[in-house]
Structure formats: C-alpha cells, structure tokens
Amino acid sequence: MTILTHRPRRMRKHAHTRKLIRENNLTTSDLIFPIFIIEGENKRQSIDSMPDIKRLSIDQLLIEAAELIELGIQAIALFPIVPSKKKSLHAQEAFNPNGLAQRAIRAIKQKYSNLAVISDVALDSFTTHGQDGLINDEGYVLNDETIKVLVKQALSHAQSGSDIVAPSDMMDGRISVIRKALEENGFIHTSILAYSAKYASHYYGPFRDAVGSSVNLGTSNKETYQMDPANSNEAIREVGLDIDEGADIVMIKPGLPYLDIVYRVKQTFGIPTFTYHVSGEYVMLKAAVQNNWLKEEQVVLETLLAFKRAGADGILTYYAKQAAGWLK
C-alpha cells in the first residue's frame, strides 16, 4: 500500500468539509441588477436580443425593486432608454432634472431608501450619434467638452438621490472634476463608481440594442476612448489615475474575458472592485441553456463565483435576480 503524506482529496470527501474550507462564497449581497427604464406607465417591454430581460416603466420598476429587496439584492443600476425626439448633439436631456433617469432615482429612493441606486453617467443614450460624448465635425469624441456635460449629469443624479454615480464614458480626467463638483455642492456622501477599465468590446451588442444606441452608432466604434482588448498594463494605469482622482469603487468591463484584469486590479490596489457580466456574456449562457447544452443554475453560479475568486466585490449581472433566487 502506498503511504501518502499529503492527500488533498481527504478534504473533499464530505460536503461539510468542502464547505468549511471553501475560499470564496457567492451571496446575494454581491449581486447588482442592471435595469432598463422607459417612459410611460404599466410597461414591460421584451428585448429580442436579451431573453427574460424587460424594459420597465417607473411604476413597474418599483414593483421590481420590491421583489429584488425580498430576494436580498442590495443594489440596482439604472439605464434609461431615451426617446429619439429627446436625443441631441449636445445631450441636454442627460442633465434634465425631470428626465427619465432623474425621476426613476427619486421614485426608488422615496419608496425604498434601503436599496442602493447606481446611476449611469454617460451620453450615448442621449446623443443622436450614439457616442458617449460630444463630437466635432470629423466625428471625434471631444474629451474636455464632454466632461462639462458629464458633471451636470452626475450632479443631477446626486440631486435626485443617487447613492452611486457611475461614469462609464472613459473620458480622461472626468473623475476629479465630478468629485470636485459633488464636494462643492454638498454631496459628500455620494460615491463614484468609475468605469476605469472599460474595453472596446464586441460583447456589448445586446445592451446597445436594449438602450437604442446601436442604430445611432451605426458602423462607428468607440475605440478612440474605450480600451484596446489587447492591453493589460494600461488598465492598471487607468485604474490608478481614477483612484487618485477620487473614485470610491472601480469597474472592469466586460467580465469573464477580463478576469485577469480584475485579479491584477484587486491585487495591486485593494480598492473595492466591481465587474460587469455584460449583455453578450449573458446571452451566450442563455443560448446554451435554451439549446439544452448547459444546466442554467449550475453554470451561472459557477460563472459568478469565478468573479469572486478573481477579486470582484460586486457583480453587475442580468442574472442577479435568478441567481438570488437560487442562492436563497
């Protein structure tokens, strides 16, 4: 008989032992549910490219919020779908105090103050061209001019009650200017979630369909401001700059294809780190499940646990509601 000093399998024999030594755990507190909001009343619109995800009017958003709270979800991320007639070259609707996002934030916070609201700060939903910023005559996205609008947008969200403003635009230097504006206007407790390493990914397609920016964007791309998927060291520099400028939380987007970035960021900075399990990742799993190629509950929970193992503190995922039900 072979005598082995080390038998790692002995710690795997029983379920109770496996649980005792488990290094990472996924809980409902890790999950953030992205929600698309639309104008109108009593509306739940299906999204062809995103199975089981709906666009919700504000009254339906409140119903959804109650269900999420019951499941133990702590936070939602809001993404408005802006009617074409309200889109413009200068994105004025982005900072309208009575805009869709602003009204939705107020409605949630008035009824469910214990549910954290993360509000998207970017202009792609508000521009006629679908870019995240203002453009010049050549179509190039202008950095400093865009920041001026982003500051107005972030302030309007803070004034409406947003707990966390989330600049997802990838303009240089916008975090410091937004932080300064929040401080000067008394919003010292409004946190900033900086999309610090947001890649020019092809996994965003269904999201752009959902918010209606894909048609406006057309054949254009966002490669002049979002990051090159080939780069890793650049992400560390981007994250470091945002931290220095006052970010409270940083975001890596997309998720699964960039777990190496999540790990490096967490190991390097130790700051609260979120990642976004984006629309393309979500629909790939849905497609595989619908074809009976994968078991949904098991593969989704394994996927979300991978984010935790890499170092993510929070996970934005369209599976948040389902996953919370499975975990509960």
Q: So which residues are the catalytic ones? A: 198, 253
**Token reading at 148:** 């001026």
Query: Using CA atoms, how far apart are residues 150 and 131, in angstroms rounded to an integer?
Result: 13
Q: Which of 115, 124, 91 lies closest to 164 in space, CA to CA? A: 115
Tell whether the torsion through CA atoms of 229, 317, 236 and 238 is positive or negative.
positive
**Token reading at 102:** 């602003």
| Number of DSSP helices (H) and strands (E) in the chain, helices first | 12, 10
Is 184 annotated in a binding site? The answer is no
Task: Give the dihedral of Cα atoms 154, 158, 160, 161; nearest 10 deg.
Answer: 140
> What stretch of H or E contains 315?
strand 314-317
Q: What angle do CA 100, 106, 108 make, to 5 degrees?
A: 100
Query: Using CA atoms, how far apart are residues 89 and 100, in angstroms rounded to an integer?
Result: 18
Characterize 201-230 residue by residue with b for buried, 16 or more Cβ atoms within 10 angstroms of its Cβ, and e for exposed.
Answer: bebbebbbbbbbbbebbeeeebeebbbeee
Cα 54 vs. chain centroid, distance in angstroms?
16
| Binding-site residue ranges | 238
Q: Which residues are annotated as part of the binding site for Mg(2+)?
A: 238
